Amino acid sequence: MGQFFEVIPEYLMKWILEQKMFWVATSPLSASGHVNVSPKGGLYFGLLDEKTFWYMDLSGSGNETISHLYEPDNGRITVLFNSFEGPPRIVRLFGHGSVLERGGVHEAGDQAFDDFVKKHDLQVLPSSRSIIIVNVHQVASSCGYSVPCYEFRKFRSTLNESFARKEEKFEQGKSEESRERYWAFKNAYSVDGLPGMKVGCKTGKQEGIAPIEKMVGPLAPQGYRNARAFGIWHLILVAVLSAICTALFLPLLPATLQGALHSSAS
């Protein structure tokens, strides 16, 4: 039977920290935007308290989570843990997230990133690009009876090794291997065109780096439209509706009120 909590119970906190991987799900506000789910592996996460979860976000070809958390009035995120060994269990952390960006070689990131790393004595990996903080407002626990059982073998080291090689090449004088140039190319925008990493966006503009094309074909997004934004078409619609209402209802008003309206208009 599913259970809901306002905070993470102590027994679930212990279980969460024992897991080897989890998933994060986010979505843009627009109904035409793409929902994203990302798997995360490695021991790069933790709990600050019963309502705060964090994880070290590593560089990759996508940056949907960062873009969705940065979107004004958004920030929604769900973190899912799943038991593959031992008793079955699924845990979801519902909340709102914030981004602490790591700086590049030439571009400063968030001071909060450096402060968080220092305070919690964290290792910054060559592939590290941000720390995601999740303020949890609801916790769900369910059975997971239909989830298969798997035996954990090992963590993959390919990503960290790849960025370690890039870092080494940069230190040897190859400026094109800097991490901020990688972020400018692949992490500056989401698949829907939402701004991503601030360091990536800034570097891209300064160095003229065009972002990678992320979706192709006739159904690829042509431009992002926030469903909550108030644009020119909303103004036109208001003007048209106002004109229609005036034409329909003004004749029905008393003559004295009509005169007052005409006087105020003139």
Give the model's pLDDT for residue 248. 72
User: Could you tell me the two tokens for 41?
Assistant: 């592996």
Nearest alpha-carbon partner for 53 in 74, 82, 24, 26: 24
Q: What is the mean pLDDT of residues 187-210?
A: 96
Return the bridge partners of 141, or none: 3, 91
Q: How far apart are CA 50 and CA 14, in angstroms?
A: 11
- 41's enclosing H/E stretch is strand 36-41
On whether residue 263 sits in a domain, the answer given is no
- The answer to whether 77 touches 25, Cβ cutoff 8 Å, is yes
Does the pLDDT at position 199 exceed 80?
Answer: yes
171 in a structural domain: yes
pTM as predicted: 0.83
Average pLDDT over residues 238-243: 71
Q: With bands split at pLDDT 50, 70 and 90, how would you rate the model's confidence at 266? A: low
Residue type, 199: V
| 247 inside domain | no
CA-CA distances (angstroms) from residue 24 to 9, 56, 174? Answer: 20, 12, 34
* Greater model confidence, 260 or 123: 123
The verdict on residue 213 lying in a domain is: no
The answer for 77, left when phi > 0, alpha when psi is -120 to 50, beta otherwise, is beta
Average pLDDT (38-66) is: 97
d(CA 74, CA 162): 33
- Comparing 185 with 105, which gets the higher pLDDT? 185
Is residue 262 pLDDT above 70, yes or no? no
pLDDT tens digits along 147-174: 999 999 999 999 999 999 999 999 999 9
Helices 179-186 + 158-171 axis angle, to 10 = 120
Confirm whether 121 is domain-assigned. Answer: yes
> In this predicted model, what pLDDT tens digit does every residue of 218-237 receive, in sequence order?
878 876 555 555 555 555 66
- The tally of domains found in the chain comes to 1
Contact 46, 20 (CB under 8 A): no
Tell whether 256 is covered by a domain: no
Q: Does residue 237 sit within a domain? A: no
State the residue range of the domain holding 79. 3-207
The answer to whether position 229 is within a domain reads: no
What CATH number should be reported for the domain holding residue 156? 2.30.110.10
Q: What is the pLDDT of residue 216?
A: 87
